[in-house]
């Protein structure tokens, strides 16, 4: 992914927007689509311009008091760089909103404030970066989140194929797809249209800059059916999970101290053949819940949760990744080897709920899935987004979207 340049963490100076937290007090930040009053935080943050669905932003701040927090929307290109559209081009109102919907945590060991905000309707389709900052000062940015609002003028058909490479037939999933653009006045489809393919809403391994293998201008269709591995993903394995829903906390001891949880060690799975899991995974996502109290958004505890991978030490780095940390390979997700325990360990501050995760290896001699295994048969979700920019256009517009499940 392109390197992101920041100057003083100012929203106006971010060169490429991503899901990123700048303030350590911000936790569990998420944007997701709400349709027919169904609140499912695992749903992608994607809605149609024609839909009645809404985008909901939720997050916590680890503090006693609510602050004056504000939201701004930035229209972005397909690569999440800011477009050249003016704010008046994509908004009907002034581009700054105070977050008025918040609640204080109830009877939790450590206090927090839970915020909610409904993303306003926009006039233009596209990628949108949601900026949250303090005191009407965009230089005090707390975090950024991505979401997509698309127009339904292009349609997408996709199917899963086996890899055409010998090594990839067991480990990879090949996504062939076609884009029909009859609803758009396209003059040069190769230059004006582009696609992005995601696996399980992950931006860290997205497929971009794919060139169509066949262009049918009469039928107004592009087909992407490559003979190489450019449209292939590692299938990985079904996700591991952390379940904190039944956590019972002793409220004796210092106030504000997080309860500590140490999970049983897990082991390498890559030597095993693929087998259907006993429990369905969440395809890398998470949700907040506890089995003891209602109003889980404000009654769930935060706990320092230690995950252990029992294995020998390797030369490369090992990370624990999932939607809960935006799939970021950084110091917060890197696991440290504990020679006394013979295991890699990471301690995560997690709110009660269920979390999918995997172990990612960054090593020149080993594949990323070294501890997990990778299989064609793994069940995954894929998302395809189509963008359009006419000649002389000031930004990329999202004109098509398709989400589909494979091997279910």
Q: CA 32 to CA 86: how far, in whole Å? A: 25
| Residue 93 pLDDT exceeds 70 | yes
Segment 282-329, tens digit of pLDDT: 999 999 999 988 899 999 999 999 999 999 999 999 999 999 999 999
- DSSP, collapsed to helix, strand or coil, labels residue 88 as helix
What are the sequence ranges of the domains in the chain? 11-150, 155-235+379-406, 240-362
pLDDT at 348: 98
Residues in a beta bridge with 173: 233
Model's pTM, two decimal places? 0.94
Main-chain phi, psi angles of 189, to 5 degrees: -60, -30
Q: Is the pLDDT of residue 265 over 70?
A: yes
Q: Is pLDDT at 3 greater than 80 in this prediction?
A: no
Q: Is residue 190 within a helix (H) or strand (E), and if so which, with residue range?
A: helix 189-192
The answer to whether residue 76 scores a pLDDT higher than 50 is yes
pLDDT tens per residue across span 13-38: 689 999 999 999 999 999 999 998 99
CATH architecture of 155-235+379-406: Sandwich (2.60)
Would you give the end-to-end CA distance of the chain in angstroms? 29
Distance of alpha carbon 16 from alpha carbon 20, whole angstroms: 11
Give just the sign of the alpha carbon dihedral 286, 290, 296, 299: negative
Find out whether 322 and 356 touch, Cβ atoms under 8 Å.
yes
What's residue 109's pLDDT? 94
Q: What number is the average pLDDT over the span 157-163?
A: 97
Class of domain 240-362 as given by CATH: mainly beta
Q: Which residue has the tokens 């758009």?
A: 184
Residue 149, pLDDT score:
99
- Please name the fold of domain 11-150: Immunoglobulin-like (2.60.40)
Bridge partners (DSSP) of residue 387 are 194, 398
Mean pLDDT of the chain: 94
- Which runs of E-coded beta strand occur in 95-245? 97-98, 101-104, 113-118, 126-134, 137-150, 155-161, 172-180, 193-199, 202-207, 214-216, 221-224, 232-234, 240-243
Residue 245 confidence class, pLDDT cut points 50, 70, 90: very high
């Amino acid at each position: 992914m392109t390197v992101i340049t920041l100057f003083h963490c100012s929203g106006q100076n971010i060169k490429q927007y991503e899901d990123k937290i700048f303030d350590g007090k911000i936790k569990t930040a998420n944007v997701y689509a709400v349709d027919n009053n169904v609140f499912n935080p695992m749903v992608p943050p994607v809605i149609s311009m024609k839909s009645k669905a809404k985008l909901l932003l939720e997050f916590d701040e680890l503090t006693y008091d609510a602050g004056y927090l504000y939201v701004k929307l930035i229209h972005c290109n397909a690569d999440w760089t800011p477009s050249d559209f003016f704010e008046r081009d994509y908004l009907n109102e002034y581009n700054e909103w105070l977050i008025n919907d918040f609640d204080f945590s109830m009877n939790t060991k450590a206090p927090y404030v839970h915020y909610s905000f409904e993303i306003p309707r926009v006039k233009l389709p596209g990628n949108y970066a949601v900026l949250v900052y303090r005191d009407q000062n965009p230089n005090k940015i707390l975090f950024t989140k991505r979401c997509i609002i698309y127009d339904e003028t292009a349609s997408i058909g996709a199917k899963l194929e086996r890899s055409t490479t010998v090594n990839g037939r067991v480990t990879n999933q090949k996504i062939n797809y076609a884009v029909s653009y009859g609803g758009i006045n396209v003059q040069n489809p190769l230059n004006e249209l582009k696609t992005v393919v995601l696996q399980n809403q992950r931006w860290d391994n997205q497929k971009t800059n794919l060139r169509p293998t066949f262009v049918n201008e009469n039928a107004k269709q592009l087909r992407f059916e490559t003979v190489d591995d450019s449209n292939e993903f590692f299938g990985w394995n079904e996700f591991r999970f952390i379940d904190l829903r039944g956590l019972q906390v002793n409220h004796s001891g210092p106030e504000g101290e997080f309860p500590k949880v140490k999970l049983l060690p897990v082991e390498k799975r890559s030597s095993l053949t693929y087998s259907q899991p006993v429990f369905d995974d969440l395809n890398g996502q998470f949700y907040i819940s506890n089995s003891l109290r209602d109003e889980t958004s404000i009654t769930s505890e935060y706990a320092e949760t230690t995950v252990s991978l029992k294995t020998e030490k390797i030369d490369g780095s090992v990370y624990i990744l999932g939607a809960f940390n935006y799939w970021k390979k950084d110091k917060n997700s890197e696991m440290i080897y504990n020679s006394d325990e013979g295991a890699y360990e990471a301690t995560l501050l997690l709110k009660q709920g269920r979390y999918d995760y995997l172990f990612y290896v960054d090593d020149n001699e080993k594949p990323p899935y070294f501890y997990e295994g990778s299989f064609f048969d793994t069940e995954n979700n894929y998302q395809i987004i189509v963008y359009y920019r006419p000649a002389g256009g000031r930004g990329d517009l999202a004109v098509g979207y398709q989400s589909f499940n494979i091997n279910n």
